[in-house]
Structure 1
Amino acid sequence: MDHKIKILLAEDEPALGQIIKESLTTRNFDVTLCTNGEEAFQQYKTDAPDILVLDVMMPIKDGFTLAKEIRFENEHIPILFLTAKSQVKDVVEGFEIGGNDYLKKPFSMEELIVRINALLKRQKSKNEPINIGKYTFDLLKQELLFGTSKENLTHREAQLLWHLHIQRNKVLERSIILKKLWGDDDFFNARSMDVFISKLRKKLKQDANIQIINIRGFGYKMIC
């Protein structure tokens, strides 16, 4: 029997919560619905879900606070925020505390399901080596292989390369990745990130088809 993906859904609007739960259940997900952040945290500790779908504005404990507490215990579980907030600073805050994606209300159930599946696919790929041009990259082992040669990566190098890969051929925004990996997007961290980018360029130089280019004022793009 196939394993059902377990989703922990935290949504304080009863009608919306039921609609989301029923829609996901019909798609063969196993959904637990909670109506506040504290209830969701307790459920997380007993349920061991595969993915979290968290409303940002909730009573007792909001979604951002809940995500911070869960991220302290689990670095890898995918977190998708549901939010009525649309300001860039709110979106950045969500990524900064460990969110993987966000969806603005109102949204369609189809889009929610597509985003959930994308996060689950991304999570699965983290556990398997991937190809970056002629290289093989193992995120968990923090190794970069080219033929018979092997480069050991630091934790931050591996995380930065992973984010460049999942955004390949698109711009990886400097502010968002700095806050996610360095904790702050100040000048000194930005210079540190530039150094890490230079190190990755050197470690990927054996494949001329791979480029990490600087998009001035925005961030970096890995072309491969």
Structure 2
Amino acid sequence: MAVKVFYVEDEPFLGQIVRESLESRDFSVTMVDNGTAAVATFLTCQPDICVLDVMLPGKDGFAIAQEIRKHSPSIPIIFVTAKNQTEDVLKGFQSGGNDYLRKPFSLEELIARIQNLMRLSVKNPTRPLDTIEIGRYRFLPLLYELRLGETVRKLSHRESTLLQFLNDSRNTTVQRKDILLKLWGDDSFFNSRNLDVYITKLRDYLKEDSSVSIITIKGIGYQFTVA
């Protein structure tokens, strides 16, 4: 079955090229050219993944992503934008994005990122809601939740995937490069900085239990330990 892509882009020429390229690779594409109609169209087409331009008439991509997340917390979202400031990248991830692609970009790179996120996505609704015990925490990766007592923290797709990857290698050293290749598809400097941000976030989320640590192994990677 073809992967259904929801694509929001207000540049007609670029939009046509990307749409035709994706469809030539057997993706099914629903495209809109303004932010105002985006969420209503998303709800109608029920896609597998979203590719959102940031600068749009009516409503920007960040606002669209936040609304989409209310309806579909786990759907992968890629932002496409000409903006290249670090604060814009961070805002994208804070808005619910899973990946961030700068213009101009190659179509091969976009397709590779779509395929990577689809591989990482949890798509089987019949799978039991696994609960992973991490010290005093309970981690529910299918619900993107980290629980401590009655407190529930909602995780982003990337946060949940990273935590699960670290936990799968609990008490052993995981190479930084392996994490980058698994979660981002490449180990570029840009993605490496993103990893630093997410490690800092996870450490903050887990700080209430001193038996849980993400230890930096300088020059190598990380060790996720639970005493």
Q: So what's the TM-score if we normalise by structure 1? A: 0.70
141, 155, 165: which one aligns with 2:130: 141
Q: Which amino acid aligns with 1:163?
A: L
Distance across 1 between alignment mates of 2:160 and 2:3 = 28
Number of residue equivalences: 186
Deviation string 1:19-54 (CA, Å, 9 cap, x unpaired) is 000000000000011101122211101110000000
2:92 equivalent in structure 1: 94
1:52 equivalent in structure 2: 50
Deviation string 1:79-129 (CA, Å, 9 cap, x unpaired) is 000011111110011011110001000000000000000000000378799
Q: Which amino acid aligns with 2:138?
A: L
| Structure 1 stretches of 4+ moved >6 Å | 125-129
Alignment of 1:1-224 (within 5 A): 3-124=1-122, 140-143=129-132, 153-154=138-139, 155-156=145-146, 162-166=161-165, 169-170=175-176, 173=195, 175-176=197-198, 193-195=206-208, 198-201=210-213, 212-214=214-216, 221-222=222-223
Distance 1:108 1:65, change over 3 A: same
- The answer to whether the 8 A contact 1:95-1:176 is kept is no
Q: Which amino acid aligns with 2:21?
A: S
The alignment's C-alpha RMSD in Å is 3.4
Distance 1:222 1:82, change over 3 A: farther
Unpaired segments of 5 or more residues in structure 1? 130-137, 146-150, 182-189, 202-211
Q: So what's the TM-score if we normalise by structure 2? A: 0.69
- The answer to whether the 8 A contact 1:169-1:223 is kept is no
Distance across 1 between alignment mates of 2:101 and 2:124 = 22
Greater shift after overlay, 154-163 or 78-87?
154-163
- The answer to whether the 8 A contact 1:82-1:105 is kept is yes
Secondary structure in 1 matching 2:26: coil
Distance 1:143 1:78, change over 3 A: same
Distance 1:143 1:215, change over 3 A: same
Distance 1:69 1:199, change over 3 A: farther
Distance across 1 between alignment mates of 2:196 and 2:124 = 22
Distance across 2 between alignment mates of 1:42 and 1:63 = 14
Q: State the percentage of identical aligned residues.
A: 41
Secondary structure in 2 matching 1:153: strand
Distance across 2 between alignment mates of 1:126 and 1:156 = 20
Q: Which amino acid aligns with 1:95?
A: F
**How much has 1:222 moved relative to structure 2?**
4.1
- The answer to whether the 8 A contact 1:178-1:193 is kept is no
**How much has 1:195 moved relative to structure 2?**
3.5
Unpaired segments of 5 or more residues in structure 2? 140-144, 148-152, 167-173, 177-191
**How much has 1:4 moved relative to structure 2?**
1.2
Distance across 2 between alignment mates of 1:59 and 1:71 = 20
Distance 1:177 1:34, change over 3 A: farther
Distance 1:93 1:222, change over 3 A: farther
Q: Which has the larger radius of gyration?
A: 1
